[in-house]
Structure 1
Amino acid sequence: MKKMLAIAGICAALTAGVVTAPPAGAATASVAQQAESPFRYYDSYYGSNPWWSCYQRGNLGLQRGEWWDYDCREGTYWVELWIQVRPD
Structure 2
Amino acid sequence: MTATPKVLVGGYTCIFVYHNRPPESIIPHRVNRLETQAGTYIKEFVHGDFGRTRPSLAELLGVDHGEVDILELDVENVDMVWPPVLENPVKFR
Length-normalised TM-score, structure 2? 0.29
From the two aligned structures, give the one with the greater helix fraction.
1
Structure of larger gyration radius: 2
Which has the larger strand fraction?
A: 1
**TM-score normalized by the length of structure 1:** 0.30
